[in-house]
Structure 1
Amino acid sequence: MKYLFVFLLASTTAIAQLKHLQHLKSVPNHPRIMLLKGEEKGIQKNIQNDPSWAKIHGVIIQECENMLTLAPLERIQIGRRLLDKSCEALRRIFYLSYAYRVTQNPKYLERAELELLTVSKFSDWNPSHFLDVGEMTMAVAIGYDWLYHDLQKSSLPIIREAILKKGIEPSQDAKYNSWLKASHNWNQVCNAGMTYGALAIYEDQPELARQIIDRAIESIKLPMEDYKPDGAYPEGYGYWGYGTSFNVLFLSAIHRALGSEFGLSNERGFLNTATYFQNMVGTSGKTFNYSDAGSGTGGISPATFWFANRTKASSLLFLQKKAIENISASAGRDRILPAALIWGNGLRFDKVEVPQQLIWVGQGKNPVAMMRSSWTDPNAIYVGLKAGSPSVNHGHMDIGSFVMDANGERWSMDFGMQEYESLESKGVKLWGKEQEAERWHVYRYNNLAHSTLTFDNSYQRVDGYAKITSRINKPAFLGAITDMTAVYNNAAASAKRGVGIVDNKYVVVKDEILSNAKSTTVRWAMVTPAQVTPSGNGSAMLTQNGKSLQLKVLEPANVVVKTWSTQPSHDYDAPNPGTTLVGFEVTLPANSSQIINVLLIPEGITVNKETKIPSLKDWEK
């Protein structure tokens, strides 16, 4: 009797501590996560009536056919991570569970059950790197919930126990749950995974499930604050696809199962972030891949369909529609692709509108500006300008760097990330953020390997921060300005950069610099995949794929444009074949000012020799 009293007291205390779910009494029967019973009919109707949805469905079904021939997953850890196995488990179980619910073909059910039992019998899901647990718990929860009534009765307790013991319970251990107080993607992924696990086994562990979900609703506010004020995601394009997608998976799950998002998605910053994401894709099809992002092209983003449905903004699907038209089997590598058909239910591609904004600026922890001369012209100009700070999660010393597209090609590029294990396996301490951290010696991570300024070959200041100070949106001029002084305060008294598109024809990059009490040599550089031929008179011709672009230095006069190798010296650095640094150096005397004007002129465009670029303070006039 004494033990029963203690148990009841503990349970009552837990319930009293709930902040958001005090009045939650029940949840729907299985399936309750994202796609409720009978809702497959809406997806089937979309597939039958719209070839775009049919294409996505076709990729998923083909991937499921391929999965039938694969060996079950094994618990093989790479370095400190089991993450690749967790990601693949999520892909297989999500796809197979979707395929069974939509087609009712038992072969997909049988294979999904095999995958569920296999990973449930792993010794653990690697809680020391909790992203692995977050994704694996989500994978197993989806399969358990969606297939609950059709799985063998003997399988249910095995899978349920794995969710509890290998997923949820480790999340309550302080050794493993520091992500609860993080504001980056770990918070989004891990809270989403734990919530899916809690929803899956709710009827067996109702009090624990309520605690886990309540905890997640409160904790996930931290990363959602980082979208303020405009929607720019501090970790960049690649991690937007990770963190934001799992954030939306979380919101979708609690809304369907609990009937509310608890006000989480009402903030302007979060609701605007799909616009940020869309603007991050250049006219070449390549993304603005600053920070730890890959160098790939824009593709299908399931989360974008959630935002389009939530905001009723069909223009958010403009690039998604194009991506689906050109869909390939590689789309089947996206482990949450079935979510696109769930979140896109009711959306019509024949109603998609062309975006109207040609420039987008987002402030926040890592401000950026993106501009283009057209959304519909494949030869249009695109420029992305990076401000912010190296100190953000996954940040690089890339303040002032820019990417630039024209005529379907990328001319100024960013290397993006180097695969983490390739560095960690060689002993590189990759995650330090202090000024002297080993991270900044990785070639791709410091400013010497970005399209920005470098003073006396020194690194940018980690504790510096640059905001976008001006946004210019005129019919004949789109531009943005950033004050970079704080990241160069050891080398310059002032450093400002403006980037703009002039007359929809060419790009100007303008720097205004004041040196401090000692002389300094500033290097202006641009990373390019093009072949570079310096041609005298402060210019160079860039060529690639039969197309060309001229780099022309208007100021200062008589500079010598040259190139530098992009091959790093450390054995742990990744090679960078087919790339070049092009630019020039200028020596500034102590306490002097210097203006740098560089034009990037696509082929077929003529710029008047007498062209004058106004000072940055006059750009808005």
Structure 2
Amino acid sequence: MKKLTTHPRLLAGEEELARLRRAPEMPAMAQAHKDLVRNARRYLRKRKLTWGGKRPDPSGLGTAREMIDRYIALATAFRKTGDQRLRDAALEYIQELDALKAGRLLAQKRMQGFWLSDGEECAGIAIVYDWLYDFLSEAQRATLVDLCRKRLFAGGLKQCRKGGQWWFGKRFSNWNAVCAGGLGMLCLAMYDDCPEARRILPHVEKSLAEFMTPLRQTDGGWPEGLGYWIYGMTYAFGYMLSWERSTGEVHPLMKLPATKKTLNFPFDFFPNGKPAGFGDNDRFFACPFHYLAATRFKLERVKGAIDKHMADAGRGMGGLMGGPSIACVLHPGTASQQIKTERQVAKVRKGLGWGLIADSMPEPRLYLSIRGGSTTHEHAHLDLLSFRVLVGKEWLIENGRNGPYLHPTAFSQHRFKINELNATYKNTLLINGVGPLPGSATDKEQAVRGQGCYGVRMDASSAMAVQDCFCARLALMVDDSALVVIDRVQTPDNSRVEARMHSYHDVAFGRTGAMIRGETESLRVTYASLEPAGLFRATTIPATPTHPSATMMRWSPLSVHTETVLVTLLTPGRPKAAAAIARDGRNFLVTVTIKGVTREIRVRPSLMLV
């Protein structure tokens, strides 16, 4: 690599750092600037951390993150105010964390090797070293370089390479991006001052290539879910954006179309500011790396969506790598106004398999997300064919919520014995009491459109425990005002088929339907079946007893059959509604009536629209 540009060169230059001394126009960012200074001054006075004691932190990851956030905030506030006490405190926090890892957390370090805590620490030190470079004495710089050489660079040389840590070059793993990306940022920061940095960078490139290139297979989607998309991409983009600023060149991975596409991915599953994904960590919020990457790719609508989310939430950005602090540098302080509205949305992320249906986006009145794809990825659940329904801003139908990680079971061979992670508490289909299997995937996912309706069809035949069966689900939006879910299962022998749904709100049961009442919204559930069926009530039993239970709605034929066809009509509000299904030659005729208006939907045995 040729000689790098002068400091500062990670994420921002002096022009962006100058924003710290200007008053933002956007209220959320103005508040973020105030919080930056207030928090930094508080960290000067009060050193006690929130982790430890009554908030156990056996791995030390929470403690490390809190200290990293503090020294990035202190360094950023120093650039804003010029108060040298803030600079000095940032350096002290860095040394305190280093001492902690050499002391109380040494056993964890030996067990994990170079792990998440180290990648995050690398990125934090890199930002402080780079943004404060011209304000540090030679002795202060030497102290930081020496600290990094002894532990972080030594670990990186040994473990960020083929045959090193398991995460090296691991596809679809947030660990890869956090560890390699964070280490790469430190290499860029200390490239001129530490020969190890120059030796490690080629290995960082190899590892991150295996993180980013698989996005071509998923249309920019991320199978670990929204929360882990944020986590991994924070450090992957943190490195790539810093590399471009440091070299003045375009990073090869930034040339991939999927790199640009992934910046749009979260907003398909963030209706009305509500995360709508699947898996362990279904969280999403505005992050500075996302905004900076959108700026880099000139994605004004992504910037507009991020700004709108901040405005609606009434607060600035979040995230690791000092998110709330560095946002004051990376955001210009003025809001982007470009918001794209889509109507009658039905789409599937190819390769990922996740689908969605909405009357409009990003602010739908009625929205459904549906899970296809594979169960083999880290943090995935056995939730194929499951769906979630948002009415306005309320989730009225959800999968059973998983609580905090139950270590080590949640990441062991017994992971899917936890009911919140297997099909037991998912809004899916069960055949003879068994849902989608571990290691399974949907056979096909596709968006469909017909007269007065649009939606998503999924085939999960090979994912089920019964061999040579057919199992498919068709979810449709009808007249932009109601959802219809049609399920068909065919098995070689008589089987019991059940469609489950869950809600954390009040559910009033009827004979063939239910009324779900939320805090501000309600949803009428109307069932139909080709054969006589019944609706049965149950309650989930969370693995963590202090977590809330959900009401389970179980719709199932009263006897076993070789063919089962079920219909679920979901109508917002409390209108009169009816649903029916009958054979129509070789096909099926589904009839739904809402407020006296009847709509007929004809489907083939494959559940394709006629």
TM-score under structure 2 length normalisation? 0.86
The CA deviation at 1:79 is 6.9
Q: Determine if contact 1:527/1:582 at 8 Å carries over to the other structure.
A: yes
Q: Determine if contact 1:290/1:416 at 8 Å carries over to the other structure.
A: no
> Does residue 569 of structure 2 align to residue 583 of structure 1?
no
Counterpart code for 1:257: S
CA distance in 1: counterparts of 2:49 and 2:135, whole angstroms:
22
Deviations 1:210-262 (A, max 9, x none): 22222111211112123224111010111111111221111111111122343
Q: Determine if contact 1:468/1:483 at 8 Å carries over to the other structure.
A: yes
Cα 1:158–1:461, aligned 2, differ >3 Å: closer, same or farther?
A: same
1:299 is aligned to 285
The CA deviation at 1:118 is 1.3
CA distance in 2: counterparts of 1:204 and 1:75, whole angstroms:
34
CA distance in 1: counterparts of 2:513 and 2:52, whole angstroms:
53
The CA deviation at 1:618 is 6.7
CA distance in 1: counterparts of 2:399 and 2:388, whole angstroms:
7
Counterpart code for 1:411: L
1:600 is aligned to 570
1:470-509 residue pairs with structure 2 within 5 A? Answer: 470-473=446-449, 476-490=452-466, 493-509=469-485
1:354-365 residue pairs with structure 2 within 5 A? Answer: 354-356=340-342, 358-364=345-351
State which of 16, 21, 32 in structure 2 corresponds to 1:56. Answer: 32
The CA deviation at 1:396 is 0.6
1:86 is aligned to 64
The CA deviation at 1:291 is 0.8
CA distance in 2: counterparts of 1:418 and 1:172, whole angstroms:
37
The CA deviation at 1:454 is 1.6
1:277 is aligned to 266
1:148 is aligned to 133
Deviations 1:370-396 (A, max 9, x none): 222123656x00110111222111111
> Does residue 486 of structure 2 align to residue 510 of structure 1?
yes
Cα 1:455–1:272, aligned 2, differ >3 Å: closer, same or farther?
A: same
* Deviation larger for 228-237 or 169-178: 169-178
> Does residue 430 of structure 2 align to residue 430 of structure 1?
no
Q: Determine if contact 1:484/1:496 at 8 Å carries over to the other structure.
A: yes
1:374 is aligned to 360
CA distance in 2: counterparts of 1:37 and 1:317, whole angstroms:
22
CA distance in 2: counterparts of 1:600 and 1:114, whole angstroms:
58
CA distance in 1: counterparts of 2:233 and 2:157, whole angstroms:
24
The CA deviation at 1:620 is 5.3
1:447-458 residue pairs with structure 2 within 5 A? Answer: 447-458=423-434
The CA deviation at 1:63 is 2.9
Q: Determine if contact 2:288/2:317 at 8 Å carries over to the other structure.
A: no
Structure 1: runs of 5+ lacking an equivalent? 1-23
CA distance in 2: counterparts of 1:56 and 1:512, whole angstroms:
52
1:263 is aligned to 252
CA distance in 2: counterparts of 1:148 and 1:70, whole angstroms:
26
> RMSD of the alignment, in Å?
2.9
Cα 1:407–1:53, aligned 2, differ >3 Å: closer, same or farther?
A: closer
Deviations 1:337-371 (A, max 9, x none): 344444444x952432224363342122x410122
2:595 is aligned to none
2:118 is aligned to 133
CA distance in 2: counterparts of 1:531 and 1:608, whole angstroms:
21
2:470 aligned counterpart, secondary structure: strand
> Does residue 179 of structure 2 align to residue 190 of structure 1?
yes
1:317-336 residue pairs with structure 2 within 5 A? Answer: 317-327=303-313, 335-336=322-323
Q: Determine if contact 1:137/1:193 at 8 Å carries over to the other structure.
A: yes
Deviations 1:415-470 (A, max 9, x none): 454322xx22xxx43324xxxx3101112110011111122222522222115532
Q: Determine if contact 1:368/1:468 at 8 Å carries over to the other structure.
A: no
Q: Percent identity?
A: 20
1:195 aligned counterpart, secondary structure: helix
1:18 is aligned to none
CA distance in 1: counterparts of 2:337 and 2:472, whole angstroms:
42
Cα 1:215–1:350, aligned 2, differ >3 Å: closer, same or farther?
A: closer
1:389 aligned counterpart, secondary structure: coil
1:410 is aligned to 395
1:219 is aligned to 207
Counterpart code for 2:541: Q
Cα 1:341–1:165, aligned 2, differ >3 Å: closer, same or farther?
A: same
Q: Determine if contact 2:389/2:395 at 8 Å carries over to the other structure.
A: yes
Q: Determine if contact 2:507/2:517 at 8 Å carries over to the other structure.
A: yes
Counterpart code for 2:5: P
Structure 2: runs of 5+ lacking an equivalent? 580-590, 593-599
The CA deviation at 1:333 is 6.6
Q: Determine if contact 1:89/1:139 at 8 Å carries over to the other structure.
A: no
CA distance in 1: counterparts of 2:475 and 2:37, whole angstroms:
45
> Does residue 531 of structure 2 align to residue 544 of structure 1?
no
2:262 aligned counterpart, secondary structure: helix
State which of 495, 510, 522 in structure 2 corresponds to 1:520. Answer: 495
The CA deviation at 1:488 is 0.2
The CA deviation at 1:413 is 1.1
CA distance in 1: counterparts of 2:64 and 2:371, whole angstroms:
33
2:79 is aligned to 101
TM-score under structure 1 length normalisation? 0.85
CA distance in 1: counterparts of 2:221 and 2:576, whole angstroms:
35
Q: Determine if contact 2:429/2:498 at 8 Å carries over to the other structure.
A: yes
CA distance in 2: counterparts of 1:468 and 1:43, whole angstroms:
50
1:161 aligned counterpart, secondary structure: helix
